[in-house]
């Protein structure tokens, strides 16, 4: 689970990592009520990197300017994500920009600490072009990341004096955050020098999805659409896209290849839902209800390869929940015969060949 910058910064504050004072708004008018000191920095809250370059981060010298920028950024789309929230903070006068992160090194089976004096820019690019500018160490889970480890890392990054002391405090706190909150990534880029002190100007935190249940108090991203929330409640994985063709399949691989096939034949998926292995008639009924409720859906493609999932269970779900749009079913695998019989009795043909079925469903929405 990726946390938005403003939520990641709330966590930083809990761990005594210095961040700017800021407020989150959703409408440009809200700028008027703010008591923050100008100059201000306005930052689009989207879960993609490189917001600066994409025009999602702007400095404002006056409240009027802030209002104008807020109007421009809110509602803008950055790498396919619509900006619904804006973080406004008192702009920092930035000196040097450092990079600091903890991430999981799966090969070493440990957390890795990564630091660089070449912060503020794309760290992957630094790693490619000037790898010697990056200091790295892995953390022994039994020892933890001690102050002397932090001091070593800071020295290798070129820090000394009071900045090194700041670095030790920030780095050990960031490691504590990772361990206590089950973060698989915690990144500060830039970790900036402002008035002689280190300040976390940006914040990126990803919590291990498998551990989210252990942290009920963790700030949540409320990014789910109504239908996504409905699907989640039923343990179904559902994703929304922009087209007009709803897709249901079982298993992530089958669903992905179904999307590819549909796209290959010129169709545009509106969404897709994976009913998973061992889907029941009830799961299937709920799945159909969810995918066809999305506005703009004009046809439904059900692609099932029965394994643990039984074709007859799926067929019963389909027959019970006649979708209000054209439907194409491809059904094969466990209890296929029985599944086909159930569908046939209801006047529904089931395809065997997925490509043929994909072509048919695309034809349903493209023919006029
Ligand atoms: P990202 O582009 O999504 O990584 O967003 P960042 O929060 O890292 O901001 C990108 C860049 O905007 C930073 O590297 C800074 O150069 C600039 N920036 C962000 N906040 C401030 C600020 O408070 N003051 C100043 N002067 N620049 C800022
Ligand atoms: Mn950044």
β-strands 326-333, 299-306: how paired?
parallel
β-strands 269-274, 245-249: how paired?
parallel
Other Cβ atoms less than 10 A from the Cβ of 15: the count is 17
Enclosing H/E stretch for 239: strand 237-240
Q: Tokens for 261? A: 């096939």
pTM here?
Answer: 0.71
DSSP code of 121? S
d(CA 77, CA 129): 30
* Cα atoms found within 13 Å of the Cα of residue 225, Cβ hemisphere only: 14
Least confident among 73-87, 158-172, 179-193, 314-328: 73-87
For the CA of 43, the closest atom of ligand 1 is 7
The answer to whether the CB of 302 falls within 8 A of the CB of 316 is no
List residues bridging with 23 in a β-sheet.
88
Nearest CA owner, ligand 1 atom 11: 52
Contact 120 CB / ligand 1 (< 6 Å): yes
Distance between Cα 51 and ligand 1 center (Å) = 9
For 129-157, the pLDDT digits (tens) are 999 999 999 999 999 999 999 999 999 99
Nearest CA owner, ligand 1 atom 8: 202
DSSP string, 139-161: E-TTT---HHHHHHHHHHTT--H
d(CA 148, CA 150): 5
Distance between Cα 99 and ligand 1 center (Å) = 13
β-strands 97-105, 110-116: how paired?
antiparallel
For 345-356, the pLDDT digits (tens) are 999 999 999 999
For 17-35, the pLDDT digits (tens) are 999 989 999 999 999 989 9
User: Which of 23, 94, 116 gets mutated to test ligand 1 (max ligand atoms within 8 A of its CB)?
Assistant: 94
Q: Name the residues annotated as catalytic.
A: 99, 187
User: Which of 9, 22, 42, 57 gets mutated to test ligand 1 (max ligand atoms within 8 A of its CB)?
Assistant: 57
For 208-243, the pLDDT digits (tens) are 989 999 998 887 666 666 788 788 888 888 998 889
Q: What 3-state class would DSSP assign to 47?
A: coil
């Amino acid at each position: 689970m990726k946390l938005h910058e403003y939520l990641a910064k709330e966590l930083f504050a809990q761990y005594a990592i210095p961040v700017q004072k800021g407020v989150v708004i959703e409408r440009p008018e809200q700028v008027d009520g703010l008591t923050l000191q100008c100059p201000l920095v306005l930052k689009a809250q989207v879960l993609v990197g490189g917001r600066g370059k994409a025009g999602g981060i702007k400095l404002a010298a006056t409240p009027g300017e802030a209002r104008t920028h807020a109007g421009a950024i809110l509602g803008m789309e950055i790498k396919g994500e619509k900006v619904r929230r804006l973080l406004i903070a008192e702009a920092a006068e930035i000196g040097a920009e450092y990079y600091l992160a903890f991430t999981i090194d799966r090969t070493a089976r440990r957390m890795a600490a990564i630091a660089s004096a070449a912060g503020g820019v794309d760290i992957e690019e630094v790693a490619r072009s000037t790898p010697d500018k990056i200091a790295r160490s892995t953390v022994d889970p039994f020892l933890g990341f001690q102050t002397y480890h932090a001091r070593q890392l800071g020295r290798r990054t070129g820090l000394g004096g009071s900045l090194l002391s700041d670095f030790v405090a920030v780095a050990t706190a960031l490691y504590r955050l990772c361990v206590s909150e089950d973060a698989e990534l915690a990144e500060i880029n830039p970790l900036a020098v402002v008035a002689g002190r280190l300040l976390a100007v940006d914040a990126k935190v990803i919590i291990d999805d498998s551990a989210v249940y252990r942290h009920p108090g963790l700030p949540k991203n409320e990014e789910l659409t109504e239908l996504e929330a409905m699907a989640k409640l039923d343990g179904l994985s559902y994703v929304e896209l922009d087209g007009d063709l709803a897709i249901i399949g079982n298993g992530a691989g089958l669903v992905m290849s179904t999307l590819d096939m549909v796209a290959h034949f010129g169709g545009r998926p509106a969404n897709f839902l994976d009913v998973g292995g061992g889907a029941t008639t009830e799961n299937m009924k709920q799945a159909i209800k969810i995918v066809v409720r999305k506005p703009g859906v004009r046809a439904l493609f059900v692609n099932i390869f029965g394994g643990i999932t039984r074709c007859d269970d799926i067929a019963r779900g389909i027959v019970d929940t006649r979708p209000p749009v054209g439907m194409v079913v491809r059904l094969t695998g466990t209890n296929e015969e029985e599944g086909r019989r159930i569908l046939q009795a209801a006047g529904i043909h089931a395809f065997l060949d997925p490509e043929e079925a994909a072509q048919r469903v695309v034809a349903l929405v493209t023919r006029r």
